[in-house]
Amino acid sequence: MNIIKATLGWFLRKGMLFVLIVAAISFHQLVWPRISDGIVKTAANLEWKSPGEIKSELMLLKQQAISELKASEANLADLSGRALDDALRERKNALARLKKDLDRAPGLFERYRPTVIIAREKLQLRSRRLTAEIALLTAVKKREEGRATLAGISYPFQSDVSFAQAECIRANKAVRSFNSSGYAERSVGNILHDRATKLTQEAKVKCGNFNSKKSARETGIAAGHIARAQLRASEVALSQVRNGLAKELATYAPEIADETYSGIISKALLVLAAVLAMPFIIRVIFYYVLAPMAERRASVRIKVAGNTNVPITASATSGVSIPVTLGRGEELLVRQDYLQSSALGAKKDTRAVLDYRHVLSSIASGLIFLTRIRGEGETTTVSAVRDPFAELAEIRLPAGAACVLHQRALVAVVQPIAQAIRITSHWRLFSLNAWLTLQLRYLVFHGSCRLIVKGGRGIRVEQAERGRIFGQDQLVGFSTDLAYSVTRTETFAPYFFGREQLLKDKIEQGSGILIIEEAPLSSRRGNGVGGRLEGVFDAGLKVFGL
């Protein structure tokens, strides 16, 4: 049944992979060519432009706008009348609309969007071109107004003024001639024809006509001089505007942000690459630089007074349960959850802690409220009642022997009734290897006694011989005549890819034993928050040798 499931699963996974490959090839061959020149290509070309590319494009648009403005200059300068007014009004309205659009500040992210940047800068170019065209059309309008003003000025010709002057002179002369004639002639002329009045009135009209034409001519000539001066000024102003028409556009410099989407994404990719690569770079440095330096530091050595290097023995293999038979004058202290069965006639009571000189250590490692069993020849079965993965081994410490042991692995002790087990603590605060192994305090158990220790999937006791290397979580204990330190993991690749830890524990050459846990129970710890907190707690206990 398992073979069938595995076969079906393999075909299902390969089939899904095949479908994905077919879909990818179909998209690339059939769909992509149709959209590559459309929206996708446009987005790729526009939205991912760099500031330099945007600036180059805007400078080309600037040159194009200058060329178009110069090309339209002649047509705009030739406008007049209503067409001129319409063109000027249209551009003023367009400029007002552009200013409203430019007054709207872009959003935070739009400031870095190439299409938005280009669109706003196009509005700036359009605004400058409209400003230049309005200035040109305004100058043209002033010129047209000057021409209209000059054309509207009229005054009498000089011949008309001269003729009116001659008529005035003749009329005055006639008045004087009449006044210089005899009395009788004047009297008859005045009585019969009212001659004096008529001559005087005629002279007054003709001289008034002369004065009027003379004044109108003088006023017209003066107004003409002023109008011509204004026209010349407007033509000069128009000429200046036309000469500097492109200046408004020529001074344009695009305001481009230092970053766009492409720059931000590029830097983000670099940061991401650095973040992804940094652990591997650190691992290379640690493996080839720091780890060799750590290896050369002095090892941790536990010197025990009176230690005679008595050999320590252990059960050949670990097992799920161990029968413990008490000899004369011996007692068994066992954790309650490792007491599987006991003899009916054995004497039993409770011991509060394993060692009253190390109360906190006993509490932290769970060696409290131990069941004490006495009775010569009585057999007690010690087994992990609640842990299905734990196996046990027996370590015999003869008198004069000593062993460093993690109390977490201790489940039972067989000791003489008259002499309780002796446990001493040894600190190594100034040893680099102690810090690297995360153990600053070492608890040493002295014989004579028998220690029952547990381990995930079993306990293995090895002779140190030429030295041994093992994982830090595997260590349960070692003889005090051995040197304990760290070493670099054997191969680089597993450590480089995160499959192995950098440092492993090392026992150097010696005649003692090494107590190793086959599969550390810590490896079965959960990966959640609870598992991580438990790991931190275990690391703290290890620092204190527990």
Pairing outcome for strands 475-479 and 402-405: antiparallel
* Amino acid type, 329: G
Q: Check whether 334 has a pLDDT greater than 50.
A: yes
Q: What is the pLDDT of residue 526?
A: 46
pLDDT tier for residue 386 given thresholds of 50, 70 and 90 = confident
In sequence order, what are the beta bridge partners of 442?
426
Q: Where are the domains of the chain?
A: 2-35, 47-153+246-259, 297-543
CA-closest candidate to residue 458, choices 524, 538, 389, 513? 389
**Nearest in space to 394 (alpha carbons), one of 476, 479, 337, 322:** 322
pLDDT tens per residue across span 489-526? 888 888 888 888 888 888 887 778 888 888 885 444 44
Round the average pLDDT of the chain to a whole number and report it. Answer: 79
CA dist., res. 63 & res. 69, Å (int)? 10
pLDDT at 411: 93
418 has pLDDT over 50: yes
Classify the C-alpha dihedral 67-68-71-76 as positive or negative: negative
Q: What is the pLDDT of residues 272-286, one digit of tens each?
A: 788 788 888 888 888
DSSP states along 243-262:
HTTTHHHHT------S--HH
249 CB neighbour count, 10 Å cutoff: 20
**pLDDT at site 415:** 92
Supply the pLDDT for residue 414: 94
Confidence of residue 374 (pLDDT cuts 50, 70, 90): very high
Burial-class residue 95 by CB neighbours within 10 Å (0-12, 13-18, 19+).
middle
Q: Confidence band (pLDDT; 50, 70, 90) for 349?
A: very high
**What is the structure's pLDDT at 521?**
58
Q: CB neighbours (10 Å) of residue 397? A: 23
Task: Report the Cα–Cα distance between both ends of the chain, in Å, rounded.
Answer: 47
CATH class assigned to 297-543: alpha beta
